[in-house]
Structure 1
């Protein structure tokens, strides 16, 4: 099995998006790490839209017309969006130590992808079209993750010659 790592670069002055893809030849230990990251990111993905759908279900009806059968009565939760879920990443790492091994930018990019899909579903574009509801992922559905920065001081990926070093993977 081969692995592909992609890195996107945005050029704002001429609106061009360049993407570099690198084919990886990981060792057996690195394959285990990559598959573990994919599974943990899938679980986090599935939790995040569940949290958003719960918020949506609880806040859709007016308070004097709330269904006693299908909706729980209680405190109305705060709005759930990318920023609240990204701030909860610290708590996630405390509760589930496996997430400490994943590079933080990969987790944030996972949430950003979900946020884009969520906004496409809720908000129509300029033609009035909307996307479908973000789906929950099955095992193996998340097969990629993104390192935003390469060769910068806080980068998770460093490219020197033909060697790509990924943070927490090697």
Structure 2
């Protein structure tokens, strides 16, 4: 089992200066390694049997990889001795980040989903220092011993479990200061194996929306807070202040810091709202069913600002993690016709988006449109479980029929 704890760091002035210097050096190295990747890719991406018309044929060179760029760090420290002050594993993590960003752009992740083209990081854009290995007893009371930094104070607002080992430590620079993230692991704790059968009694369906944040199949509504929209006037003034400052001046940096703090406040408000809503939902059912939303597709419409303000993607991912930790289950269902079909008789009742009440002419059911959709989501989750069980039973019967019967030999006693 592995999870992370985050604490507020309290470094002194010398440690802050050292962190800032490390981050700037790592940023320069990240851009240099990424530039190597782009240079090779631009000159070698032409097919072997064709000649580019815009340039001559380049001399063949070895492709920069994770291992070759990692080996180049030794020469880097000889050519630029100031990189010797950075811990070796921190530099190696910089190479790993470049390789990960480049591979996700060209090949995609495990599911084949590709990311955008990686960009060079401007000044102040490199914000994390990762220590892949730390000592087992590096934390003493409210202090942590980090390589080449020594003892750094932090606010220990919650204790670290004794049975868990600290695997990695990461320093992150945010708008309001520095934070320490500890990755904890205990190999003795087995991974959770959830075996829950969804039924109408233990399953709760939720319908995500913009009029209300969500409506449950029991009729309970959670209002949408719209933290970003409420802070738009403040955001507008801060953005105007940044644009009026001379770029690079101290007043410009101060205005940028104020703008970053505002965005951080909105993000924290949304995060707190999500966790409070998750706690409310998990107390009502062992199985939580929701729609499998295409958020990127929906965000291309005129409702994009409202959708991103609600934070559906973050909410559903946090819901899945919290449900797994609590021994509960989340199920994604196909959203097709969940708001059109009747949850009572199952027949389709077409309605416009402006119609907020579901009135079924077939069975006479009348209820809120979103609650009807939440009930359809719950019914689909229960039906998926029944169909999967029937399919497994059919496959088991087919396998038993194809399996040859054992031959029983009769042995007589002569």
TM-score by length of 1: 0.79
- The yes-or-no answer on 1:30 pairing with 2:10 is no
Cα displacement (A) at 1:67? 2.9
Instruction: Please name the residue that 2:140 is paired with.
Output: 160
How many Å separate the matches in 2 of 1:91 and 1:68? 36
After superposition, where does 1:3-152 map in structure 2 within 5 Å?
A: 16-63=1-48, 65-67=50-52, 69-70=54-55, 73-125=57-109, 128-152=112-136
Unaligned stretches of 5+ residues in structure 1: 1-15
How many Å separate the matches in 2 of 1:137 and 1:126? 25
| SS across alignment from 1:23 | strand
Q: Show CA shifts across 1:23-73 (max 9, x none).
A: 2211111111100000000000000110011111121114563336435x4
| SS across alignment from 1:118 | helix
Range that drifts further, 61-70 or 138-147: 61-70
How many Å separate the matches in 1 of 2:127 and 2:108? 28
Instruction: Give yes or no for contact 1:58–1:76 (8 Å, CA) kept in 2.
Output: no
How many Å separate the matches in 1 of 2:109 and 2:115? 9
How many Å separate the matches in 2 of 1:106 and 1:126? 25
List structure 1 segments (4+ residues) > 4 angstroms apart after TM superposition: 125-128
State the aligned residue count: 150
| SS across alignment from 1:65 | coil
Q: Show CA shifts across 1:6-25 (max 9, x none).
A: xxxxxxxxxx4322333221
How many Å separate the matches in 1 of 2:5 and 2:92? 20
Cα displacement (A) at 1:100? 0.3
How many Å separate the matches in 2 of 1:112 and 1:97? 22
Unaligned stretches of 5+ residues in structure 2: 151-414
Instruction: Give yes or no for contact 2:77–2:84 (8 Å, CA) kept in 1.
Output: yes
How many Å separate the matches in 2 of 1:96 and 1:62? 37
Cα displacement (A) at 1:128? 4.2
Q: Show CA shifts across 1:85-108 (max 9, x none).
A: 110011111111111000111111
| Larger relative contact order, structure 1 or 2 (CA cutoff 8 Å, min sep 6) | 1
How many Å separate the matches in 2 of 1:125 and 1:37? 29
Instruction: Give yes or no for contact 1:103–1:167 (8 Å, CA) kept in 2.
Output: yes
Larger Rg: 2
Summarize the Cα distance change of 1:124–1:30 in structure 2 as closer, same or farther, 3 Å threshold: closer
Cα displacement (A) at 1:74? 4.1
Q: Show CA shifts across 1:105-156 (max 9, x none).
A: 111111112211111111134654311111110000011111112215xxxx
Instruction: Give yes or no for contact 2:37–2:64 (8 Å, CA) kept in 1.
Output: yes
TM-score by length of 2: 0.34
